[in-house]
Structure 1
Amino acid sequence: MEWTRLLLVRHGETAWNADGRVQGHLDIALNAVGRTQAQRLAARLRDEGEAIELIYSSDLARARQTAQAVADATGAPLRLAPELRERRFGAFEGRRFADIAAELPQDAERWRRRDPQWVPSGGGESLLQFKERVMQAVCALAAENIGKHVAMFTHGGVLDVLYRAATGLGLQDARTWQLDNAAVNRLLWTPDGGLTLVGWADRSHLDDTRDERFA
């Protein structure tokens, strides 16, 4: 059977993760904790001989910096893939959810309920638009690399979409899985079967990450 092994990683922590701010497409760099997480991840993948053949990364700094640490440690080539960016949250980017809830309670409620049709004002993406972008991008990259072990460095929202696709869960189903910064997540992609869950949220190389909801 033809397949592509996918090792998926959410970027390391940023100051805005720690502060509960919505990042979306804003280009926020790793903080000191995030840089440490990236180095620990890189050391693990190097020492365990993961044999990663190619790395794709969102072009946003927080993902790119995490991916670069692994590329430097493993020698795998790194390619930027803007289509792996986080969901676009428009005018909500840079703000805390509590502030949005206080000022725009109807929008906050639709966001909380994961309304698939709701579009954040100011040029945001609906969940349906976001899912379509993510699935098209990941499946296309997987199809280009049949038989390879590929790492992708991306964002919490992207990983959420991929987990749901691999497990058959809907966009509005309650989330019970973790989206830890710099944890290791594994999926298998096949042309006929799509995505299959192999392993999730392995953070054995970390001892101080925080799982913030705004990626």
Structure 2
Amino acid sequence: MGYKKIFLVRHGQTTMNVKGIYQGRVNSDLTSLGIQQTKGVGKYIHSKEIVFKDIYCSTSPRAIDTCKLIIETMGKNAVKTVKYDNRLVEMDFGIFEGQSIELCKTNYPHTYYDLYHHPQDYAPLGDGETVQQVIDRVSHFLSDLKNDEHKDAENVLVVTHGVIIRAIFYCLLHRKIEDFWIDEDIPSSSLTILSKDDNRAYRIDELFITCH
């Protein structure tokens, strides 16, 4: 069982993205470019005449705004229900939250290095999450997604965040935690499509499509 195709969208560009600041659980508004990017995703989906039984979305405001813009652009008839799930919120970066990436790299070099080079050993400063904790909650979400699916639904759309998309890759593509960051940076409002092959295993059909 399982949806034949999973469409993953990272939220649109935000003001903190532009400034190079860790967002995580804090939020910032979509920029005008972020809004334009997101509408491009909706237009692309509409042009392909793709219909979703369900959309699952992070409860973060920037993801919700992205989701609403996509629905408005592709047309309400393209989706039946939208479900908001806090297991899809971005990683909690602890003390890094709200600080510039460059400042964290300078002030906390060992922690910063472990996050991106030894994710299996990363220990957040403050009340943040480990990479494994993020993987665990995403794994629970995917398990529920499989159980809650509609038998007549082939496509599902998930609107979320960069680290969560990497965790989905880890779970569905059976990667090692050491390879958590192996993919290039995930562009804002990019669309990735995973589909099942003949062996009922997921593979990447399209990676980080930008429709803007």
Q: Please state which band the TM-score falls in when normalised by the shorter chain.
A: 0.7 to 0.9
Deviations 1:94-126 (A, max 9, x none): 112221122222212222313323231221110
Look up the match of 2:209: 202
- In the superposition, relative to structure 1, how do residues 37 and 162 fare at CA in structure 2: closer, same or farther (>3 Å)? same
**Code of the aligned partner of 2:164:** V
Is the Cα contact below 8 Å between 2:12 and 2:62 reproduced in 1?
Answer: yes
Q: Which amino acid aligns with 2:97?
A: E
Q: In structure 1, give the amino acid aligned to 2:22.
A: V
Paired with 2:195 and 2:54, the residues of 1 have a C-alpha distance of 15
| Bigger mean CA offset, 69-78 vs 5-14 | 69-78
Q: Partner of 2:183: helix, strand, or coil?
A: coil
Partner of 2:127: 123
Find the counterpart in structure 2 of residue 165 from structure 1: 171
C-alpha separation between the residues in 1 aligned to 2:85 and 2:186? Answer: 20
Letter in 2 for 1:59: T
| C-alpha separation in 1, matches of 2:2 and 2:141 | 16
Deviation, structure 1 residue 170: 1.5
Displacement, 1:82?
Answer: 1.1
1:85 to 86, 89, 95: 89
Aligned to 2:103: 99
Alignment deviations for residues 116-169 of structure 1 (CA, whole Å, 9 cap, x no partner): 232312211101111111121123123311442110100000111222333332
The sequence identity of aligned pairs, in percent, is: 20
Per-residue CA deviation, residues 23-45 of structure 1 (Å, 9 max, x unaligned), is: 11112221111111111111221
Q: How does 1:34-183 map to 2 (within 5 A)?
A: 34-72=34-72, 73-75=74-76, 76=79, 77-147=81-151, 148=153, 149-173=155-179, 175-183=182-190
- Aligned position for 1:187: 194
**What is the alpha-carbon distance in structure 1 between the residues aligned to residue 109 and residue 21 of structure 2?**
17
Q: What letter is aligned with 2:41?
A: L
TM-score under structure 2 length normalisation: 0.86
The Cα offsets for residues 160-196 of structure 1, whole Å up to 9 and x where unpaired, read as: 1222333332122251345121122112469x95643
Structure 2 distance, partners of 1:189, 1:79, is 23
Between 1:126-135 and 1:137-146, the stretch displaced more is: 137-146
Corresponding position: 1:3 with 2:10: no
Name stretches of at least 5 consecutive residues in structure 2 with no aligned partner. Answer: none
Q: Distance in 2 between matches of 1:178 and 1:108?
A: 16
What is the Cα deviation at residue 81 of structure 1?
Answer: 1.0
Partners of 1:189 and 1:60 lie apart in 2 by 29
Specify the code of the residue in structure 1 equivalent to 2:162. Answer: G
Residues 194, 23 of structure 1: alpha-carbon distance in 2 compared, 3 angstrom cutoff: farther
Equivalenced residue count is 203
**In the TM superposition, what is the alpha-carbon distance from 1:9 to its structure 2 partner?**
0.5
